[in-house]
Amino acid sequence: MLNNKTLGVKIPELKAFYYIEAGDNWIGNSVDRIKKTLIQRNLIKADLNGTTTNYTICSYAKFKQEGLTYEVVPIFLSKHIEELYRANEPIKKTSGIFKS
């Protein structure tokens, strides 16, 4: 669950803040897991000479204080947690000819 103490990775080029969504489970060393996942997804690039994509590790509270218009993107620990997360999201209302 995302709260002010949640650590994540902020990537200015993508204008996104990534964090691990693990539900009620406790995850040790979450920042390392996030970085490895982002490298696998080619969102952070690491060269053999030591250069990497520009990113910053920060807490969600610090991220909110900066007032940036970044997207907050969860990285789900499992498909089950993703399903629970999606089920708890508020349903977005759309306009159309049918009204509920």
Q: Beta-strand (E) ranges in the chain?
A: 7-11, 16-21, 56-59, 71-76
The residue among 51, 42, 60, 53 whose CA lies nearest residue 13 is 53
Q: Is the dihedral of CA 14, 15, 21, 27 positive or negative?
A: positive
- pLDDT of 91: 61
What is the average pLDDT across 10-36? 89
57-82: pLDDT as tens digits: 999 999 999 888 899 999 998 898 88
Instruction: Confirm whether pTM is higher than 0.85.
Output: no
What is the average pLDDT across 11-31? 88
Domain spans of the chain, in order of start:
7-88
28-52: pLDDT as tens digits: 888 999 999 998 999 998 777 777 7
